[in-house]
Amino acid sequence: MAISLDKMNQPQDVVYEQFEDLGQQQETYVLGMWAFLVTEVMFFGIMFLAYTIYRWKYQPYFYALHQELDWKIGGLNTFILLMSSFSVALAVHFHQRKMKMPVLLCLGFTNLCALAFLVIKLLFEYIPKWNKGHYPGPGFSWDSTYIPANIAQLWYSLYFGTTGLHALHVVIGIILFSVLMFLIAKDHPIISDYLPTEMLGLYWHFVDLVWIFLYPLYYLMPK
């Protein structure tokens, strides 16, 4: 398996048998991806709905509880995701111009950012909270006199549920990006044009999009 890094060594843009021409194929793929993203919006919509209902009900407690989260760590992660989103946009840009090395570099940087996001989240948020017993379930330990333990558990349920679902998307993204990079590096025929990068890019921007709302609502909760 020889990997050449200089230029996109691709066949002519391939049109699959069910399509008439390349334009139709590309538009169909983008539309299909957006239809999928609609389902993703509804997916996270439920989590935001539950958050809104319970925060509205328990606002004073939730406001006090949100101070348990470190806005600096969250801010760092926000910036990391923003950078990764930017570099994916660049990857699509370079793939459209068929520049192989920059595409791989951009995707690699995105993957690095995604990994950094997960590592920061685990090391500075999930693991310390786990050690303190601040996770919903039978092992939950809580000793505040001001905030009832059950509401704290509800808050942590929402926090772990929402950020966990988001982190799951990040993990899936890392796997997909790695596969995509491998296929591009190998000049695999399945990567016949820039659309795989574009579609994965759309997915990744959506992951960033969710975090854009998660960050102010969880880490910088308005009073």
Partner 1 sequence: MSGIPPTEHVETEEKNYLQEGHTIASWLLTKDHKRIAVLYLISVSFFFFIGSIAAMLIRLELTSPRGTLITSETYNKAFTAHGVVMIFFFLIVAIPAVFGNFLIPLMIGARDLAFPRLNLLSWYFYMAGGMMFLVAMMTGGVDTGWTFYTPMSSIYSNGQVTLTLVAAFITGFSSIFTGINFIATIHKMRAPGMTWWRLPLYVWSHYATSVIIILGTPVIAITLLLVVFERVAKIGIFSPELGGDPVLFQHMFWFYSHPAVYIMVLPGMGVISELMGCFSRNKVFGYQFVAMSSMGIAALGFVVWGHHMFVSSQSMYQGIVFSFLSFLVAIPSAIKVFNWSLTMYKGSVWLASPMIYALGFIGLFTVGGLTGLYLASAGTDVHVTGTYFVVAHFHYVMVGGTLLAFLGALHFWWPKMFGRMYPEGVAKWNAMLVFVGFNLTFLPQFVVGYLGMPRRYHYYYFAPEFQVYHVMSTLGASVLAVSLLVPGAYLTWSLKNGPKAPANPWGAKGLEWEAAASPPIKHNFAGIPVVMGDVYDYDAEAEELAYRGLPPREESK
Partner 2 sequence: MSEHVHAHEHSHHITPFGTLMATFIKLAILMAATIAWAFFAPQILGNTPISSVINNLVALGIACVKAWLVIQIFMGVKFQSNVVKTYAILGFVWMTLMFTMFADYGTRQWEPVQGWTPGDTQQALPRADQPYEEAIPPRSKINIPEGKH
**Residue 69 near residue 219, CB atoms below 8 Å:** yes
Residue 30 binds to partner 2 (criterion: CB under 8 A): yes
**Residue 165 near residue 78, CB atoms below 8 Å:** no
Q: Per this entry, what is the length of the chain?
A: 223
**Residue 178 near residue 111, CB atoms below 8 Å:** yes
Which residues inside 125-154 make contact with partner 2, applying CB under 8 A?
144-148, 151
**Residue 220 near residue 169, CB atoms below 8 Å:** no
Q: Which does 10 bind (CB under 5 to 8 A by kind): partner 1, partner 2, none?
A: none
Cβ nearer to partner 1, comparing 5 with 39: 39
- Cα 141 to Cα 155: distance, rounded to the nearest angstrom: 14
* Least gap, CB of 167 to partner 2 (angstroms): 19
User: One symbol per residue from 67 to 106: x for binding partner 2 (CB under 8 A), - otherwise; what is it?
Assistant: xx--x---x--xx--xx-xx-xxx-xx--xx---------
Q: Which does 208 bind (CB under 5 to 8 A by kind): partner 1, partner 2, none?
A: partner 2
Cβ nearer to partner 2, comparing 41 with 171: 41
- Cα 11 to Cα 213: distance, rounded to the nearest angstrom: 41
Place of tokens 């690699």: 108
Cβ nearer to partner 1, comparing 36 with 79: 36
Max Cα distance, the chain (Å): 69
- Cα 194 to Cα 191: distance, rounded to the nearest angstrom: 7
Using CB under 8 A as the criterion, which residues of the chain lie in contact with partner 1 when the complex forms?
A: 17-20, 24, 27-29, 31-32, 35-36, 38-40, 42-43, 45-47, 49-50, 53-54, 57-58, 136-138, 148, 150-151, 153-154, 157-158, 160-161, 165
Cβ nearer to partner 2, comparing 127 with 212: 212
Closest by CA to 181, choosing from 105, 114, 119, is: 105
Cβ nearer to partner 2, comparing 3 with 32: 32
